[in-house]
Amino acid sequence: MSYVTSRLLGRFAPETAAGDARPDLAALIAEAPAIVWAAGPNGETEFVSERWREVTGTAPLGDWVEAIHKDDFDELVRDWRGCVASGEPFENEHRIRVRDGTWRRFLARARPSRDADGAIVRWVGTLIDIEDLVRDREAAGAQLAKLVEAQTVDLEVAERRFANEVEGRASDRRARRDDDALYAAYLDNTTDGVFVVSCTPGRPILVETVNRTMERALGISRLVMRSRKISDILPRETSERLEGAIEACAMSGESARYEQVTELDGEERVFEIALSPVSSSDGRTVRVVGSARDLTERRKSEQQLRQAQKMEAVGQLTGGVAHDFNNLLQVVKGNLELLASELAAVMTPSIERRLRDATAGADRGAKLTRQLLAFSRRQPLAPRPTDVGALVTSMADMLDRTLGETVEVEISRDAGGWTALVDPAQLENAVLNLAINGRDAMPDGGRLAIAVRHLPAGLSGSERIEIAVTDAGVGMSESVLARVFEPFYSTKPEGRGTGLGLPQVQGFIEQSHGEIEIQSAPGRGTTVRLSLPRSAAEAVVDPDTDGEADEPPRGAGERILLLEDDEAVRSSVADLLTALGYQVEPTATTRDATLLLEAGRAYDLLLSDVVMPGQPSPPDFARLARAKLPTLKVLFMSGYAENVIVHQGRVDADVHLIQKPYRSDQLARKLRQLLGEPAATEAAPSRPLEILLVEDEPLIAMSLVELLQSFGHKVTEARNGAKAKAAISDGAKFDLLLTDLGLPDIDGQALAEWARVARPSLPILFSTGRDDFEPPPTLLEGGPTAVIVKPFDAESLRAAISACA
C-alpha cells in the first residue's frame, strides 16, 4: 500500500486490529480501472490514486496541469470552481495526455461529502477513461444516449442514498461514512458490473457485494445476493466457469480476464470478465474483485459491419461477373437461335433436343445472374405505378400450371386498385418464387393462400400494400428461419434449388423500398409477407406484355447503328438484326461511331452496349447522336449497368434498356416498340466504294482484295508508295485509301500525308501490326482517318471502312 493511500485511508477509516487501514479497500482502489481522487471542501486536491501514474506516467500529486489538454483546461477549471462554490455535483469531460503521448478523453465526476449539519467536508471523485465509449457514442449515438441516461439515474440513486446515510449517521461513525462514500462513488460511477466475492480456502465462494449495474443486469437486489453462492445467482455453465476462474485467480495471485456468453432475460449476451485478487496482511488472497463489461452491442455492431462488407464485396463481384457472363450468354443464345433457324429444314428430334437443352442451360445461367444481382440489390429495375392486386390476380392461371394439381391456390384481394411504384415483372417473379417455395414445403399437396391487403398508415406514416403468401407445409425451425436470407443456403435436396430464391426476393423488395417478413414454425406452415409503399399515381399497363405469343415483328430495312466492343457479341447481334430484316452498321468503339456520324451517315436507331472502354461513353455518345439526328431512337443493352444508366437500382428516366442475354423475339418487339410500325419502303442499300489498296505482301494483298470485293467494293492495287502516287495522280476517283504502314519505298504515313495534299479530304484507313500507332493531328484534321490493327477479321474491316469512308 502506498504512503498516500495509507494516509488517506487513515483519515477516512479506523484502523484494523493489525494496525492497517482497510486492505480490501486499498486493493480495490489500486486495482480499479478508474482513477480515484479526493479534494478538500475548498477544492484543493488531497488524494489521487496510483492509477494516475500508470495512465499518465507522472506523479499522482504532481503538476497535473501539464497533462490536461489546453483546449479543455479553462472549461475544466470553470466547472470545478462553480461546483465547489455551489456544492452541486461535479462532472466534466476533458482530454488527458497518457503515457504514450496520445490524448484520451476522461470523465471526471465528484460528489460532496457532508457532515450532519450539511457542510461539505470533502469531495470524492473518479476519473474514468471514456475514449472508447466516446468513439462508440459517435458511431452509435442512440445507444450511448441510453447508457448516459441509465448512468444519470444511477448517480441520482447513489446521491439520494448517500444523503440518507449522512442524515442517519452519528458523529462517532463519520470516518466510516466517508470510507463508504469513497467505496460507493467508485462502484456507482462505472458502467461495468462490479462484484466482490470472498474466497477463503476450504469455504464456498460467496458474494459480498455488487454494484447497481450488476443489480440491473441480473434483476436481483444486492441485499438478496449478499452471502449467496454464485451458483444460486447465475446459470450453471456460467457459474461453474466463473467459480473456476476465481479459484485460479486466488491460488495464483494474478489477475485474469476472459469472455463469457450467457443468457439473460431470454437473450444471449457477451461479457468481458476481469478478476483481481485482494490479499490480506499475511499475503493470502481472501477476496477477488471482479468486473463484467457488456460487449453485446459492440459484437452486434461488428457483425453488422462484417455483413455489410460482405454484401458490398458480393455486389461488386456480382456486377463484374454479370457484365462478362451475360455477354457470353448473349453470344450463346443468339447463335443458338440463328442455328435453329438455319437447321429448320433438316431438323431432327436429336438436333432439336440438343438445341433445346443448350438454350435451357443458357436461360438457367441468365436466371442465376439475375438472382445474384437481385440479392446484392444491383439488378436494374424499371418501376412504374402497378395495380398490385390486379397483377397478383392475373397470375392465377400461371400459378395453377406451375404448381400442379396437388396444390390448391386461393387468391384474395381488397377492393380498390391501390398502386405501388414497382417493377411489375420482378414483382411477379417474386410472388412466383414464394409460391414455388410453398409448393415444395407441401410434398403431399395442400392449400396455398395469396392475399393482397391494403394497410393503413402506421408508424411509417404511409399506407402500404401487403402480399401475404401462406402455405400449410412443414414449416421451419428457429435455426432455419434465422438463415433463410443467406445466399446459397437451402433446405431442399441437392439439385432442387440454388438457395437464392428468398435472398433474391428480399433484395428486390428492399430495393423497391419495401419490407419482407417471415413467420413459420415446425408443422404449422409458413407465411411470407411483402409490403410496398402505396403510390398516388394511376396504374400503367405494361406495353411489353401485349402480343408476346404472336410472331416476332420484323424490320423493313431500317438502318441500325450497332455499338458493341465485344467481338463475339457484336457479330451475334448483327446477325440477329440482319435476320430480323434490318440493315446493320456494326462498330466496336464510340470513336468509330462518331466518325460515321461526322461523315453524314443517317440511322433510325442506335443499339448500344452500356459499359464500354474509351471516350465518349455510350450514354454520352447517344446524346451527341441525338443532337445530330433528332429522330434517332436509342436502345441500350447490358448485362450490368449500375451507375451508368441505372442508379439506386432503377433505370434512369427516358432510357430504354434490354437486358442481356435476350431472345431474338424480345429484341424484335423492343425495336418495333421504339421504331413504330415498319415503313412501306425499304432503305436504299449503301453504294460500292472505289478503294486504293497499298500492300506489299502478296498473300495479304490477295486476301484483302477478295474480302473487299465480297463486300461489293471495287479495288485498285498498288504494291508500293510510288505506284499509289501514280494511281492518284492519274486522276482516278478513289473513295478510300487503305494502306499498310511498312512499305518498301516510303513510309505509309508519309504516303497518307502526300495523298491528303493531292486529294484533300480523301478518307484514309491504315492497316498495321502496330497496336500503338496513332495518326498525327494533321491527318485527323484533314479528313476521315482510322486505324485497323492486324490481324483483323472481316467484321472489323467492314466496320473500319464504314467508320472511315
Domain boundaries, the chain: 3-187, 193-294, 323-378+550-683, 384-541, 690-804
- What integer pLDDT is reported at residue 6 of this predicted model? 41
What contacts 650, CB < 8 A, 6 or more positions away? 380, 381, 382, 383
The three-state secondary structure class of 784 is coil
Fold of 384-541: Heat Shock Protein 90 (3.30.565)
DSSP assignment of 233-302, as one string?
Answer: TS-HHHHHHHHHHHHHHHHH---EEEEEEEEETTEEEEEEEEEEEEE-TTS-EEEEEEEEEE-HHHHHHH
Q: State residue 141 phi and psi, 5-degree precision.
A: -60, -40
- What integer pLDDT is reported at residue 653 of this predicted model? 44
8 A C-beta contact, residue 21 and residue 11: no
Between CA 124 and CA 187 the distance in angstroms is 12
CATH (residue range 690-804): 3.40.50.2300
8 A C-beta contact, residue 122 and residue 196: no
8 A C-beta contact, residue 701 and residue 580: no
DSSP assignment of 605-632, as one string?
Answer: EEEEESS-SSSS-HHHHHHHHHHH-TT-
8 A C-beta contact, residue 69 and residue 95: yes
Q: State residue 198 phi and psi, 5-degree precision.
A: -90, 140
Which candidate, 649, 562, 655, 651, places its Cα nearest to that of 609? 562
DSSP 685: P
Alpha-carbon distances, residue 229 vs 199, 203, 285, 694 (angstroms): 11, 11, 18, 101
Between CA 805 and CA 784 the distance in angstroms is 7
The count of other CB atoms within 10 Å of the CB of residue 572 is 23
DSSP assignment of 514-555, as one string?
Answer: -EEEEEE-TTS-EEEEEEEEEESSPP---GGGTTTTSPPPPP
The CATH number of domain 3-187 is 3.30.450.20? yes
Which candidate, 284, 286, 235, 285, places its Cα nearest to that of 261? 235
- What integer pLDDT is reported at residue 615 of this predicted model? 84
Q: What is the mean pLDDT of each run of 10 residues along the chain (805 residues)?
A: 40 37 67 87 90 88 85 92 93 92 92 90 91 79 65 71 65 55 66 84 84 82 84 85 87 87 78 87 81 83 68 59 61 69 74 77 66 55 79 85 84 86 81 84 88 80 86 82 68 54 75 84 88 78 48 80 85 83 88 86 86 81 85 78 44 62 79 70 58 84 80 89 89 88 87 88 83 77 80 73 76
* Strand 206-210 with 193-198, pairing: antiparallel
Q: How many helices (H) and strands (E) does the chain have?
A: 26, 29
Between CA 35 and CA 182 the distance in angstroms is 12
3-187 and 193-294, same CATH topology: yes
**C-alpha cell read off for 784:** 476521315
What contacts 72, CB < 8 A, 6 or more positions away? 93, 94, 95
What contacts 55, CB < 8 A, 6 or more positions away? 35, 96, 98, 99, 129
Cell 461488428 found at? 302
**C-alpha cell read off for 419:** 398502386
The count of other CB atoms within 10 Å of the CB of residue 690 is 14
DSSP 581: T
- What integer pLDDT is reported at residue 772 of this predicted model? 65
- What integer pLDDT is reported at residue 315 of this predicted model? 58
Is the full-model pTM beyond 0.75? no
Between CA 482 and CA 471 the distance in angstroms is 19
The three-state secondary structure class of 655 is coil
CATH level 2 (architecture), domain 323-378+550-683: 3-Layer(aba) Sandwich (3.40)
Class of the CATH domain delimited by 193-294: alpha beta
